[in-house]
Copies of this chain bind each other. A is one copy, B any other.
Amino acid sequence: MERKTKVTAEANKQEIIITREFDLPLELLFKAYIDPEIIEQWMGSKAVKLENKKHGSWRLEKKDAQGTVVFQANGTIHEFVPNQKIIRTFEMDNTPFGVQLEFLEFEKLTEDTSKLNMHVVYRSVADRDQYLQIGMDKGVNMAHNQLQKVLEKLK
């Protein structure tokens, strides 16, 4: 059965719930969020800074073939508990999208499967709706498909 990311966005709320089950052991799923090389493989952006610790911070960057930066995002890491949770801020640079607060929880299902529970909180309903309008739900499913593909080679 093909797995799919579920994005729940209740009307008039400033939050989104994202859940996805993976055919990956918990430790590999977590690795997908903390290893710069692996992040680049499934997200397509380079983690030019990634301090995996409480009160750390991070920065992603994507360049085109000419070396021009075409995407940048950054944030802080409020909390970091290996194989359990990451609480972080997220912002795309030079865009009208605001800063959001993300709660990522990593759950072991079986020895070979795991689940990501992500709760994203926005400054406003309008901020959140902007994300939905650009097809965020489809984008995150595609990214998670790629995550599965990249990480299962490491099993």
Residue picked from A74, A77, A79, A121, most chain B C-beta under 10 Å: A121
Question: A57-B55, A89-B89 are known contacts. Are A99 and B122 too (CB-CB below 8 A)?
Answer: no
- Contacts A14-B15, A99-B101, A122-B121; A57 near B76 (Cβ below 8 A): yes
CB-defined A-B contacts under 8 Å, sample of 28: A13-B14, A14-B14, A14-B15, A55-B57, A55-B76, A57-B76, A75-B78, A76-B76, A76-B77, A76-B78, A76-B89, A78-B89, A78-B91, A78-B99, A79-B91, A79-B99, A87-B89, A87-B99, A89-B101, A99-B103, A100-B101, A101-B101, A101-B121, A101-B123, A103-B123, A119-B123, A121-B121, A121-B122
Give the residue name and chain of the B residue nearest to A15 (CB): B14
Look across to chain B and name the residue whose beta carbon is closest to the beta carbon of A87.
B99
Q: Closest CB of chain B to A119's CB: distance in Å?
A: 7
Q: How many residues of A are in contact with the other chain, CB < 8 A?
A: 23
**0 or 1 for each of A102-144: is its CB under 8 Å from B? (1 = yes):** 0100000000000000010111100000000000000000000
| Nearest CB on B from A37, distance (A) | 22
What sequence of 0s and 1s flags, for each residue 1-44 of chain A, a beta carbon within 8 Å of any chain B beta carbon? 00000000000011100000000000000000000000000000
B14 to A121, Cβ gap below 8 A?
yes
